[in-house]
A = this chain, B = another copy of it.
């Protein structure tokens, strides 16, 4: 889809140097390389190749390139596409990362540890005039939200909980909009989404008073027919993150929202004493609170994460929920007629 750098009209919303060389470190299990696979799947046209080190065996299937080869093929940054449990830069990664800086690539990280906290990287970046980019760092000049209505159309994915498909749903909807010829931008609010989009706003790292302002900054005034599809965060009924979700809802002022949910999940992840809110409750609350900054807000339908069901059970579940709620219910990862109906309802 369209990663319109020029429409990121506020110069301060993070925009990343692209295309990427994906760094896979020394990992031997694909589960540790989710960021790299997410980039391959959703930003494959902006990934030139991959680079491993040590005994790394995981591959994305992209060409294996040295940093110098990648640079000559157009790469502008190496992205750390793997995670370890500590979220830190491993010593055995450093030679490859320094080689990337020497070859003219910036380095981008979504890890907790800041890149410049590793002295060898800081020195090499300074020596070669390259940038070390931590996508978890928000811009400095975020304003207090104004609440003023902006031009263009906006869609926000909201959730009954964390980690059940808000990012994938937003990416799939943005891609579907584009396939229908709609002028659309995916607007990322978390580190993986930001790496995929090449820019965005790390909502979880913004100071609370500025969170709604950050959401306003992320989807600025746009042409009347243009859509911003904004990646949701958390849930309005999450005991820890609801404040972020509400600030994102108010600042995004969506015309349309899609509720993301995982059937079978009974409690908030990591909070077993909090039952998952119902879809109806989530819709009602989102309408009520979102109506404050966009009185025309409406729910287009539901995105169900049916990964744990087989095809027949999944289709039956989508049909049943659609009939029960009286609105489109789809699993964007399965596509199909249900998903086309959801896209229709979003654009209606």
- Write the residues of chain A forming the contact surface with B, with a CB cutoff of 8 angstroms: 144-148, 203-209, 211-213, 236-237, 239-248, 250, 268, 271, 273-274, 285, 288-289, 292-293
Q: Is the CB of B239 within 8 A of A293?
A: yes
Q: A147-B271, A271-B147, A273-B147 are in contact. Are A239 and B292 (CB under 8 A)?
A: yes
Partner of A250, one of B242, B248, B288: B242
Question: Which of A147, A240, A271, A293 neighbours the largest number of chain B CB atoms within 10 Å of its CB?
Answer: A240
Q: Which residues of B lie under 8 Å from residue A243 when comparing CB positions?
A: 208, 211-212, 243-248, 250
Q: Is the CB of B242 within 8 A of A247?
A: yes
Q: Is the CB of B213 within 8 A of A203?
A: no
Q: Is the CB of A145 within 8 A of B208?
A: no
Q: Is the CB of A147 within 8 A of B209?
A: no
Offer 7 A-B interface pairs, CB within 8 angstroms, sorted by A: A147-B240, A204-B209, A208-B211, A209-B240, A242-B247, A243-B244, A243-B247
Q: Which residues of B lie under 8 Å from residue A144 when comparing CB positions?
A: 240
8 closest Cβ pairs, A-B complex:
A147-B239, A243-B247, A145-B240, A243-B243, A204-B209, A208-B211, A208-B208, A208-B244
A25 to chain B, nearest CB (A): 26
Q: Which residues of B lie under 8 Å from residue A288 when comparing CB positions?
A: 285
A49 to chain B, nearest CB (A): 34
Q: Which residues of B lie under 8 Å from residue A236 when comparing CB positions?
A: 246, 289
A275 to chain B, nearest CB (A): 10
Partner of A209, one of B237, B241, B268, B285: B241
Q: Is the CB of B237 within 8 A of A212?
A: no
Q: Which residues of B lie under 8 Å from residue A205 when comparing CB positions?
A: 207-209
Q: Which residues of B lie under 8 Å from residue A292 when comparing CB positions?
A: 237, 239, 242, 274
Q: Which residues of B lie under 8 Å from residue A208 when comparing CB positions?
A: 203-208, 211, 243-244, 247
**Contacts A148-B273, A207-B208 supplied; 17 other A-B pairs, CB < 8 Å:** A144-B240, A145-B239, A146-B271, A147-B239, A204-B208, A207-B207, A209-B244, A212-B239, A236-B289, A239-B250, A239-B292, A239-B293, A242-B246, A242-B250, A242-B292, A243-B245, A246-B246
